[in-house]
């Protein structure tokens, strides 16, 4: 049986028997005025971060959400869009879609602003989305793509790119891991399906996103996620897993490569009012300017004694140059 079938079995079980600790995140659940999330949705929060950010959700966007879980993020997205069919949820597991639909009906009872038909649930696979080309403003997934092996991950990312409109946003949360994992971990289909052993180093994950064509990537958050400890898992070393929140924008690819923002800032502290690198970056004296990693490296390479480049904060969701 392939790992994709094991994944379906794992989430069939997670739909029938809600498991609070299944993915487990330290990201706080959104508290928004007038939003009441049903208890079962909270119990079925199988994400590893949040993909909902009000900054992305102005101008009534249409939203595709792949891997519906208990429906909590579908409800949160609908909070911002509030119109019939504005949010499309896609999943391959019938039992998960049934649980999600039931939870959305309960949410309708608890939230006077919400109608269950704001969300359309479609049967479909992340590897072959039942969604037309260039049709959505936001495409999101939370804690699903890390499960995919490399070729499937490429397919899933290409599908998200295909369905997004130009300048649309891919928003994802996934575990990442900087340590190599041994074959016993990597080849354990159940641990992979549980979002524990499929994760990539962050730079590899970013590279896969930019290779499908996204011209801009923002790393919005990076948090501790799980440990795989000897004695508990088939490993002799302690493995530390983080979870990241990432937004990739379908802008044209710059000629000199993608702009990846990891939270670096440039500050000019010389004696002039400003420093202009003549490449589109003007730094006012002692004012931080958010820069992408490419620009940070170019500014650092100037070797000036009056330019400071901060380390990555792994917390960036807007503003800056490029």
Ligand X SMILES: C[S@@+](CC[C@H](N)C(=O)[O-])C[C@H]1O[C@@H](n2cnc3c(N)ncnc32)[C@H](O)[C@@H]1O
- Contact residues: ligand X, CB under 6 A: 7, 11, 23, 45-47, 66-69, 73, 90-93, 96, 125-127, 142-144, 195
The Cα 307–Cα 305 span in angstroms is: 6
Facing residues of 125 across strands? 128
Give me the least distance between CB of 49 and ligand X, in Å please: 9
Task: Please tell me what DSSP assigns to residue 32.
Answer: -
CB-based burial of residue 135 (10 Å sphere; 0-12 exposed, 13-18 middle, 19+ buried)? Answer: middle
- Nearest residue (CB) to ligand X, 52 versus 185: 52
- Nearest residue (CB) to ligand X, 176 versus 265: 176
Alpha-carbon dihedral sign for residues 298, 304, 308, 312: positive
- Nearest residue (CB) to ligand X, 171 versus 266: 171
Show Cβ contacts of residue 252 under 8 Å, excluding neighbours closer than 6 positions. Answer: 215
Give me the least distance between CB of 278 and ligand X, in Å please: 45
- Nearest residue (CB) to ligand X, 56 versus 293: 56
Give me the least distance between CB of 216 and ligand X, in Å please: 23
- Nearest residue (CB) to ligand X, 141 versus 295: 141
Give me the least distance between CB of 239 and ligand X, in Å please: 19
Give me the least distance between CB of 116 and ligand X, in Å please: 18
The Cα 139–Cα 171 span in angstroms is: 6
Using CA atoms in the order 200, 206, 209, 215, what is the torsion angle rounded to 10 degrees? 180
């Amino acid at each position: 049986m392939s790992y994709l079938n094991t994944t379906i079995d794992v989430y069939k079980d997670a739909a029938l028997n809600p498991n609070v600790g299944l993915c487990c995140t330290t990201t706080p659940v959104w508290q928004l005025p007038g939003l009441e999330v049903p208890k079962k949705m909270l119990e079925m929060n199988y994400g590893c971060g949040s993909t909902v950010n009000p900054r992305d959700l102005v101008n009534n966007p249409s939203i595709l959400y792949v891997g519906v879980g208990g429906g909590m993020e579908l409800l949160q997205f609908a909070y911002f869009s509030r119109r019939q069919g504005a949010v499309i949820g896609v999943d391959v597991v019938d039992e998960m879609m049934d649980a999600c639909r039931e939870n959305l009906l309960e949410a309708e009872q608890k939230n006077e602003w919400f109608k269950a038909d704001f969300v359309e649930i479609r049967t479909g696979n992340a590897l072959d989305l039942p969604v037309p080309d260039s049709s959505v403003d936001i495409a999101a997934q939370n804690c699903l793509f890390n499960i995919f092996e490399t070729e499937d991950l490429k397919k899933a990312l290409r599908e998200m790119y295909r369905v997004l409109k130009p300048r649309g946003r891919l928003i994802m949360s996934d575990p990442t891991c900087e340590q190599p994992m041994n074959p016993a971990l990597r080849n354990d289909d159940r641990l992979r399906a549980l979002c524990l052993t499929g994760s990539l180093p962050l730079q590899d994950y970013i590279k896969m996103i930019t290779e499908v064509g996204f011209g801009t990537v923002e790393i919005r958050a990076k948090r501790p996620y799980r440990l795989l400890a000897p004695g508990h898992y088939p490993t002799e070393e302690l493995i530390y897993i983080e979870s990241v929140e990432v937004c990739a924008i379908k802008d044209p690819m710059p000629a000199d490569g993608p702009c990846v923002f990891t939270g670096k800032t440039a500050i000019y502290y010389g004696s002039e009012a400003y420093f202009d690198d003549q490449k589109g970056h003007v730094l006012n004296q002692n004012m931080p300017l958010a820069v992408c990693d490419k620009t940070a490296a170019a500014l650092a390479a100037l070797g000036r004694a009056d330019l400071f480049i901060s380390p990555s904060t792994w917390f960036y969701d807007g503003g800056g140059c490029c």
